[in-house]
Chains A and B, each alone.
Chain A
């Protein structure tokens, strides 16, 4: 039972991270009907930018650990959001009116570009996050010692998701985003600046992905340039699991996938951990292509 709780909390922590990344996929898909393959790389970029800022600025000494991490997260959010915005301008906007598959290839190209740019800048080796920033305590829940860092990570991702949920559902901007997702032309006729909304989505999604990157760095302590691939694919699987284009779906799908993976690794086989997520993807696409709560993704004539 103790093992189960440990794995469950591990799954929740990782699932929260998946959910944050998945939100970026699902929001972009919502407004553009495009899978932003470069999103995983924006996440990795967040992890690396966080690493650079934490190491080079040495904020932990002057501000205290918590304030330093929060400040770095805020900076990373801003920087990755900017990169996301530029990506949309350079790689996706010129293709807005061409075939969807051209945009997909362009997205793949952007992904390859970012991944290799990270490799060239930081090298192919693992980079190690400053170790003393990770909270080391344990939380006692019903006699089970659970690492505090997992609760903090899960709590932080839930907090961010609630903030996003509020933004999407309770504000005028959120209403505009939803309107663009439903029907771009009608939204334009209602006086919504569609380009601005799409740019906004490319600011919000990557910002969340960037935070997730810093979280992974803090949780696992090491990052590598090719982490974008696995995390990106898994977050994408999470988005499909929840129903792509559906924001609550991405949150649920992410957490669910994290838990499935953690439990699968614990009770089935660690070596096949990465295959489990792909198996989930294939099963979902075969048996319930709409995802748990979403739009249909398969063409059936």
Chain B
């Protein structure tokens, strides 16, 4: 009991520190370096959205760039053709990505881990080829789409790296917080159960297909929204930005950082996107080093740099929170018990 207040103040100090860094960073970093941290932020959100599918649910999905691409292109097309402000398009782009995920994930969701991986690579390649071939005459072929307008927030036009810093890292913070809530929700626990033991999860009444599908849709929704910000930041998008390697980078961020752990994923984004920028000379060799790191990590630290902490439930305090369970146990009431206690104890 005595450790709890300490932990809480520790966490508060961390949050204040993070807030200070967030607010003051543009004062200390050059615009070029802010460009790097902005990239880190975008990849961090993308990796967080992939983390729902790959880290929490344990589905080997290596086609995340496809969802990102659908979102970015949706926003770019609607913005350049109809002049709709780009930030308003975030939910639209997310929704379209989610619908796309719903359609493509349904037939492949039951595949075993490594087969799913290959099929999702196939999907990201098909999407890229479709974009290059100017599908429906909308995507602009291999040149892509240009002239996407800058985002405007409360009448303020966001165009410089320092402005984007606040937009992107604010978005990172909101996303991380929402994903944290999701982690501890009924939905998040169900996903973790599926990752740990799918058969047992199914046996305990979790509709695994439904939850896996939901994980895909949610991850795709968030990736699509992030695509909008990417389109607004670059003002030009082309199929090259959504290649298979982009998916590999995201995959590596989640796996090496610590799949299933939000801090691990953020750390992974810093290491994999930020570090190579710091050591420009070795940027060429960065994929070589990732490859070697992936092999070494799987042997010595298969759960990533920061593996997810197992949640421990204190049975006594849990029972205290749900007195009706105790009452029912005492009174020996067996009717009506099942639907209630299944929800409480899971």
Contact = CB atoms under 8 A, between A and B. Distances in A.
Indicate whether A and B interact.
Answer: yes
A274 interface: yes
Chain A interface secondary structure, helix, strand, loop or mixed? helix
Interface string A103-123: 111101111111111001000
Interface stretch (B41-49, B117-125, B183-191, B234-242): B117-125
Contact of A91 (B58, B108, B112, B295): B295
A110 B298 CA distance: 11
Contact of A112 (B112, B248, B284): B248
Given A35-B118, A109-B293, A110-B295, A301 B287 contact: no
Interface string A279-301: 10110011001000000011111
Size bin of chain A's contact surface: 35 or more
B122 A233 contact: yes
Given A109-B291, A300-B110, A233 B302 contact: no
B36 interface: no
A111 B302 contact: no
A286 B129 contact: no
A177 to B, nearest CB: 21
A94 interface: yes
B60 interface: yes
B294 interface: yes
A105 B125 contact: no
A139 B255 CA distance: 53
Interface in A106-152: 106, 108-117, 120
Contact of A285 (B111, B133, B199): B111
A108 B107 contact: no
Contacts of B130: 275
Nearest to A113: B291
Given A35-B118, A285-B108, A297-B111, A110 B60 contact: no
A94 B299 CA distance: 7
B126 interface: yes
A282 B119 contact: yes
Contacts of A59: none
A112 B114 contact: no
A62 interface: no
B244 interface: yes
Given A35-B118, A113-B291, A301-B199, A278 B108 contact: no
A104 B60 contact: yes
Contact of A113 (B107, B133, B288): B288
Given A106-B294, A106-B299, A282-B107, A116 B255 contact: no
A54 B179 CA distance: 55
Which of the listed residues B126, B130, B290, B293 has the most CB atoms from chain A within 10 Å of its own CB? B126
Which of the listed residues B198, B290, B294 has the most CB atoms from chain A within 10 Å of its own CB? B294
B294 A108 contact: yes
B113 interface: yes
A111 B291 contact: yes
A145 B130 CA distance: 34
A170 to B, nearest CB: 31
Given A102-B298, A233-B118, A282-B123, 6 more contacts: A95-B298, A117-B288, A120-B285, A120-B288, A271-B129, A278-B125
9 A-B pairs with least C-beta separation: A109-B294, A113-B291, A112-B291, A278-B122, A116-B288, A106-B298, A109-B295, A116-B287, A102-B298
